[in-house]
Amino acid sequence: MGGTISTFLSADTIRSILSYVGGEAKYIWGLKGNLVDLQTQKENLIAKKQDLLNKVKLAEQQSRTRRTTTVELWFRRVEEMETKVENLQKEGDQQVDRLCLGGFCSKDLISSYDFGKKVENLKEKVIELKKEEDAMKEVYEGVPEGAAVEKAVDRTIVGQESILDRVWRCITDQEKNEEIIGLYGMGGIGKTTLLKQVNNKFCSEEHDFDVVIWSVVSREPNLKQIQEDIGKRIGFSTDSWQGKRFEERASDITNTLKHKKFVLLLDDIWESEIDLTKLGVPLQTLDSGSRIVFTTRFEGTCGKMGAHKNRYKVFCLGDDDAWKLFEGVVGRYVLNKHPDIPKLAKDVARQCHGLPLALKTVGNAMASNVYPEEWKEAIEILSASASKFEGMEKKVLSSLKFSYDSLPKDELRSCLLYCCLFPEDSEILKTELIEYWKSEGFVDSSSGWGVLGALVRACLLEEGGDDVKMHDMIRDMALWIANEIEEEEEEEENFLVRAGIGLTDAPKIEEWEGVKRISLIENEIQSLPQIPTCPHLRTLLLNGNCIVKITDSFFQSLPSLRVLNLSGNNYLTELPVGISSLVSLHHLDLSFTGVRGLPQELKALVNLRYLNLEYTREMSRIPEQLISSFPKLQVLRMLHCGCCAHRPIVEEGNVLSDDAESLMKEIHCLEQLNLITLSLRGSRGVENFLKFPKLQNITQALHIKDCNSLPLNLLHLANMEHLEELDIEDSNLEDWNVDCAGEVQKMRKLHSVVIRNCSNVKDLTWLVFVPNLKWLRIVGCDDMEEIISVEKFEKLSEVSEMMGELNLFSELEYLSLGNASNLKRIYRDPLPFPQLKEIDISKCPKLKKLPLNSSSAKGLKIVIYGEKEWWEELQWEDQATQNAFSPCFRPF
């Protein structure tokens, strides 16, 4: 029978039986007890793990502490063991059911033996893990200090990610010598948030810097505190430094930092630069890769701190990014409360004009307002006076006022406040603004541009080519200062500003009383109060309205008025004789009005320094001896004055005659005059103008009309060194050539040329002498065949030493060609147009090709207007050129 059993049992089975008989039967008869012991040991292990985990977590709550690697590995092994025990215990009941003979044998001998052995082994491993925990001495450790200490920020930046990326590249790109980096912009725009984000990138990004140091400089810098901030980050405790002098601590900083690759982040530097060497910062190490990054409100501080190349202006947010920030502050709960709220909320956000500080302040104030009526009320308050809105005065306007207060001179502050007289988003012509300041007495003849530059560098005005703009939040701050703060201090600086808000009636006369400056620009006002009593009023801006008539008595109680602007009132055809009461007037602007004649009574304005009669097209009479009665006149603008009026060639007692002789003589008598703009009609008028070289030297803009033979030649033009605009109309340009090119100087200030309805002119090759031409308009010149003649251009290059390197049309922004039936080309070869914005072509049927190739105006968004038929027949340099400019076309 034993042979029979051996036949059916495998070798492994026989070995198992032998092991069982040999003393390992405990794996079967001890299975129940081992399963219980395993459960107990597992529970004890889990308890130990939980106790240790609580201990570690408590330690990790302390700064710069973490669990050891050994503990972390032990936790993972315990978790793995828990899983193994649980999986084994799932088979336990099944294996126990197989036991027989009172638990001393099994129905499946091999399976029970193997399972019992696993239970025993796993129990021993659980016991070993418990012993490992008992043997652990250090379960947590101090964290090595990183390069930077993370800064708390309210939210991730919105809309300024590109600046953050550029600054980070400047810091980490060791190939570039970009050691000192400046971030500048107006208050509340997010400079500190950006710098904190830069700091925090050192906590999350890979880099090779040893230490990142943060210090706040502020308006009145405490050099000792900045020094302590630096010392603390590089290992000097306050106690060890307590007894050391400033110079000794600077030496300690130098000796430490010169061996490190560091980044120094300085937040909020004002106009006074910080002497880093005095603090102990070793600037020589910047050549080895160390960096300094700072924020400031003043662009000029960038230069003072050495950020000559690497300065980045932080701009306000665009509408989309502003809404994203505002939406995040307010929260979806409120925005979803009523279907009208999201649209109203976007209107509220727009009232913040992209300034992050304002968006956050207003957003927080509105974060619990769930009724649409509350949002409508907020829009009304912000539109009328931002200072009245909750938190704006304390958090936003007061912050912006720091920049105003930091301006070093009262004249700068007065000039800034003056800018709030203009409507929101106005583009204020720089030259016009400076003339206002001069007439008010804020600046003299030489300091205006310096003041303008200082305000731009302080980020209180925004640069815009020929214009400046005042950010609407800066404007709100200026109005707040002028109307509320000055009033509290009992100074008569309060302004009455109702500019660009659609008024049809002037403010009530009671509102005028006691006011120093009034602005009603760009409204629809037709009539003015009868007799305003304003003894302190110095500026009255009424331009851009619909005023029809001004009563004689209106000006009688304005004895201090210095600036009066009536421009743009097209329906105003005459001035009241009562204007003679304005004996203090310095600045009178009548441009773009319908005024037909100036009254003799204007002679009383002996203090007048600025008179603007430009585009008074219907002006037909200016009395003799009137212009010459203004001995202090410095600026006289008469471009297109009387150009549409019907008058005799010569009229006694009127200087507005075609021969212009009387006018030229009177203008010539004005000793303080330094700028004129003129319109001349007929050859005699031009001849009389040319008799006075002094007048040519101060001419800024010149309009010539109806000259059958133009006495003016290229040499005359070149000698007008201040000429900026030239407009020739209905004249014969047959004798206008470039034969005298060898004697011609470049006309560097001339930037606008208009040629209209001129005969016998085949080209304008002389434009090569106008290197800064921005605006070129040619209309109704049927004899013109090309703008720049290649043949004449080549001859000019041979005879003129002044030609030098010519980048033809390199500054051109606007080109308009119309009604030129024989015009075949602008120039033979393609030209680069790096500044070009717009091309207008109409009724030029022979112009089949533009001087463009695929590289012309690269990177610019050019618009080309023209007839569809002309565009379809246009010939291109190549397919690439056509592909480049096809999206630019806009049909008339």
SS3 state at 515: coil
Q: Within a 10 A sphere around the Cβ of 440, how many other Cβ atoms?
A: 19
Mapped to the 3 state alphabet, what secondary structure does 385-406 carry?
CHHHCCCHHHHHHHHHHHHHHH
Q: Residue 17 pLDDT > 60, yes or no?
A: no
796, containing H or E segment? helix 790-799
Strands 140-142 and 65-67: antiparallel
- Cβ atoms of 104 and 17 within 8 Å: the answer is no
Structure tokens belonging to residue 574: 């005459």
Instruction: Answer whether 161-313 and 404-493 agree in fold.
Output: no
CA angle at residue 672 from 667 to 673, to 5 degrees?
A: 45
Q: What CA–CA distance (Å, rounded) separates 287 from 303?
A: 19
Each residue's pLDDT tens digit, 26-39: 666 566 667 777 78
Task: Please identify which residue in the block is written with the tokens 């129905």.
Answer: 107
Residue 797: partners with Cβ closer than 8 Å, 6 or more residues away: 803
User: In the structure, what pLDDT confidence band is assigned to residue 71 with cuts at 50, 70 and 90?
Assistant: confident
Burial class (CB in 10 A: 0-12, 13-18, 19+), 4: exposed
pLDDT of residue 1: 36
Q: What CA–CA distance (Å, rounded) separates 683 from 701?
A: 18
- Cβ atoms of 778 and 820 within 8 Å: the answer is yes
SS3 state at 10: coil
pLDDT of residue 383: 87
Structure tokens belonging to residue 31: 């299975």
pLDDT of residue 876: 93
483 or 18, higher pLDDT: 483
Each residue's pLDDT tens digit, 39-55: 888 888 888 888 888 88
Each residue's pLDDT tens digit, 105-136: 655 556 666 777 777 787 788 888 888 888 77
pLDDT (mean) for 177-196: 89
Q: Residue 853 pLDDT > 70, yes or no?
A: yes
Mean pLDDT over each residue of the chain, to the nearest integer: 86
- Cβ atoms of 293 and 179 within 8 Å: the answer is no
CA angle at residue 489 from 486 to 490, to 5 degrees?
A: 90
Structure tokens belonging to residue 686: 């031009």
pLDDT of residue 9: 47
71, containing H or E segment? helix 69-90
pLDDT of residue 15: 44
Residue closest to 584 by CA, chosen among 543, 534, 542: 534
What distance lies between CA 711 and its chain's CA centroid?
Answer: 48
Burial class (CB in 10 A: 0-12, 13-18, 19+), 471: buried
Each residue's pLDDT tens digit, 689-735: 999 999 999 999 999 999 888 888 888 888 898 999 999 999 988 87
pLDDT of residue 795: 74
SS3 state at 206: coil
Residue closest to 478 by CA, chosen among 407, 427, 543: 407
User: In the structure, what pLDDT confidence band is assigned to residue 585 with cuts at 50, 70 and 90?
Assistant: very high
The CATH class for the domain spanning 161-313 reads alpha beta
Task: Please report, for residues 80, 413, 528, 872, the alpha-carbon distance to residue 881 in angstroms, rounded to integers and kept in the order given.
Answer: 68, 52, 58, 14
846 or 654, higher pLDDT: 846
Q: Residue 149 pLDDT > 80, yes or no?
A: yes
Q: Residue 576 pLDDT > 70, yes or no?
A: yes
Task: Please identify which residue in the block is written with the tokens 């507005």.
Answer: 656
Residue 335: partners with Cβ closer than 8 Å, 6 or more residues away: 327, 341, 342, 345
pLDDT of residue 18: 39
Instruction: Give the chain's end-to-end CA distance (angstroms, integer).
Output: 115
pLDDT of residue 465: 84
Q: Residue 184 pLDDT > 70, yes or no?
A: yes
The CATH class for the domain spanning 319-384 reads mainly alpha
Residue 520 identity (one-letter amino acid): L
Each residue's pLDDT tens digit, 315-368: 999 999 999 999 999 999 999 999 999 999 999 999 999 999 999 999 999 998
Task: Please identify which residue in the block is written with the tokens 């988003």.
Answer: 425
SS3 state at 467: strand
Structure tokens belonging to residue 45: 């292990």
Q: Residue 143 pLDDT > 60, yes or no?
A: no
Q: What CA–CA distance (Å, rounded) separates 544 from 809?
A: 35
- Domains of the chain, by residue range, sit at 12-142, 161-313, 319-384, 404-493
DSSP code at position 845: T
Residue closest to 627 by CA, chosen among 615, 617, 635: 635
pLDDT of residue 155: 60
Each residue's pLDDT tens digit, 485-496: 654 444 555 899
pLDDT of residue 872: 93
- The CATH code of domain 404-493 reads 1.10.10.10
Q: What CA–CA distance (Å, rounded) separates 413 from 422?
A: 16
User: In the structure, what pLDDT confidence band is assigned to residue 11 with cuts at 50, 70 and 90?
Assistant: very low
Q: What CA–CA distance (Å, rounded) separates 115 from 87?
A: 12
Residue closest to 707 by CA, chosen among 645, 767, 757, 763: 757
Structure tokens belonging to residue 764: 């304008």
- Cβ atoms of 704 and 680 within 8 Å: the answer is yes
Torsion angle in degrees (nearest 10) through CA of 616, 621, 626, 628? 70
Task: Please identify which residue in the block is written with the tokens 């696993």.
Answer: 118
778, containing H or E segment? strand 775-779
Residue 219 identity (one-letter amino acid): R
Structure tokens belonging to residue 402: 């720091």
Query: What are the φ/ψ torsions at residue 48 (nearest 5 degrees)?
Result: -60, -40
Task: Please identify which residue in the block is written with the tokens 């009023």.
Answer: 537
Q: Within a 10 A sphere around the Cβ of 368, how many other Cβ atoms?
A: 11
Q: What CA–CA distance (Å, rounded) separates 140 from 95?
A: 43
Residue 604 identity (one-letter amino acid): A
Task: Please report, for residues 508, 578, 596, the alpha-carbon distance to residue 552 in angstroms, rounded to integers and kept in the order given.
Answer: 19, 4, 17
Q: What CA–CA distance (Å, rounded) separates 360 from 327?
A: 10
User: In the structure, what pLDDT confidence band is assigned to residue 653 with cuts at 50, 70 and 90?
Assistant: confident
Structure tokens belonging to residue 634: 């410095």
Strands 180-184 and 211-218: unpaired
| Helix, strand counts (H, E) of the chain | 33, 28
pLDDT of residue 27: 62
pLDDT of residue 811: 93
Query: What are the φ/ψ torsions at residue 259 (nearest 5 degrees)?
Result: -105, 5
Residue closest to 191 by CA, chosen among 88, 265, 287: 265
- Cβ atoms of 481 and 494 within 8 Å: the answer is no
pLDDT (mean) for 866-879: 93
DSSP code at position 90: H
Q: Give percent of the chain above pLDDT 90.
A: 53
Q: What CA–CA distance (Å, rounded) separates 892 from 886?
A: 15
User: In the structure, what pLDDT confidence band is assigned to residue 156 with cuts at 50, 70 and 90?
Assistant: low
Q: Residue 796 pLDDT > 80, yes or no?
A: no
pLDDT of residue 800: 58
